[in-house]
Structure 1
Amino acid sequence: MAPLADVVPLRDTGAYHRPRPSSVGFLSQAAAGILAAMNKTLPLCLIAALAQNRVIGRDNQLPWHLPADLKHFKAMTLGKPIIMGRKTWDSLGRPLPGRLNLVVSRQSGLVLEGAEVLPSLEAAVQRAEAWAREEDAEELMLIGGAQLYAEGLTAADRLYLTRVELAPEGDAYFPEVSQQEWRLASSIEHEATTDTPAYAFEVWEKR
């Protein structure tokens, strides 16, 4: 097998804002429907980097530069199917090698070179699971943006979160993680340096 290119993504966040209180019930109902429709057996995992205030982006960019997190992202997703929204795909510029790139878009007839386009998160998860079983991958990875994170959180089994010790302004947020529904399985902390903020690699498991 040819060596995989050493490519890491600039993780896009999409243009998703904090849901208003009136929309929270809608998101929960939608997620419940997704969970029922997916009929998956492999774990669905969300992977994201977020600040102390849950900001994951501003103007479609990360509000920090953390090379260790990009390497972590690459290590956690290689050899697995990755599910993303259209804006996330656009931010990457090309498909990430060594992974099945699945893009969720409602745009009819959309063709993206190097990716498969699916009309819904449910369809993307089903395609990801079929591919993962063929390739002996153990997880399905959802990599953003913010709207897909919110849509997929209830159906997810595991969260890979990089907690960045900053509180920047932003226009995209990771959904709130309830400790009644999730438990922290592990956390590896890294101290701040002159070039980077403190951060921690966390793994959360569904209770």
Structure 2
Amino acid sequence: MNQLTIIVATDQQGGIGINNTLPWKLPEDLAHFKRMTTGHPIIMGRKTFDSIGRPLPKRRNIVITRNADWQHNGVEAVTSVAAAITLLDGVEGFVIGGAEIYRQSLALTSRLIITEIGQTFDCDAFFPAINREEWQETAREAHVSAVSGLPYALVTLQRKA
């Protein structure tokens, strides 16, 4: 079975973005994201890919799109989460967004890596609510950004058996 992990940064109300961009500046989270995902396949929606603007290096980039004709150099395009999972070949894959892809992937995910930002931002995209009864928190590291002063925590949750 493939191991699917969701990696996401959220504000205090589950906000993940506005106008297809991040509403906060948190370079420490971007560095954490890079550390966690480098060397692994990453799965994202087409809008998330467009917001990044290019395939992320040292990662297999899998983009989910409703447009079966969509193509981009350095990217594997599929039309569903299930199709993306079949490309993982037994290795851990990271779902990196956006909101709809998170929603579709949540039930198939065994681990959540969440950067909980200790502030609320103006957001128009949100991470789906999770049932905390289904998850066990296995790690939490509290930090304050040296750049922005934002408090944040790096949290890992494992699906209960």
2:37 maps to what in 1? 77
Q: Are residues 1:90 and 2:50 paired?
A: yes
- Return the offset for 1:193: 5.2
Match in the other structure for 2:83: 123
For 1:118-197, list aligned pairs within 5 A. 118-127=78-87, 129-130=88-89, 133=90, 138-191=91-144, 195-197=148-150
Cα deviations by residue, 1:36-68 (Å, 9 ceiling, x for unpaired): xxxxx1310000000010001111111110000
State the SS of the aligned residue for 1:70.
helix
Higher helix share: 1
Contact 1:51-1:164 at 8 Å conserved across structures: yes
Q: SS of the residue aligned with 1:71?
A: helix
Q: Which amino acid aligns with 1:65?
A: K
Deviation at 1:119, TM superposition (A): 1.1
5 Å-filtered alignment, 1:97-108, equals 97-108=57-68
Secondary structure of residue in 2 paired with 1:153: helix
CA contact (8 A) 1:65 1:196 kept: no
Mapped to 2, the partners of 1:108 and 1:118 lie a distance apart of 7
- Runs (5+) with no aligned partner, structure 2: none
Task: Quote the Cα distance in structure 2 between the aligned partners of 1:145 and 1:173.
Answer: 9
Structure-1 residue corresponding to 2:19:
59
Conserved? CA contact 2:28–2:145, under 8 Å = no
Letter in 2 for 1:123: A
Aligned partners of 2:5 and 2:94 also within 8 Å = yes
Q: Return the offset for 1:194.
A: 7.0
Gaps of 5+ in 1: 1-40
Q: 1:191: Cα distance to partner?
A: 3.1
| Aligned residue type for 1:101 | N
Q: What is the aligned residue count?
A: 160
Whose strand fraction is larger, Structure 1's or Structure 2's? 2
Could you list the structure 1 runs, at least 4 aligned residues long, displaced by more than 6 angstroms after superposition. none
User: How many Å separate the matches in 1 of 2:8 and 2:159?
Assistant: 16
Structure number with bigger Rg: 1
Tell me how far apart the structure 2 counterparts of residues 178 and 101 of structure 1 sit (CA, whole Å).
29
Cα distance in 1 for residues equivalent to 2:145 and 2:64: 36
1:195 to partner: Cα distance: 2.4
Question: Structure 1 residues 103 and 194 mapped into 2: Cα distance closer, same or farther (>3 Å)?
Answer: closer
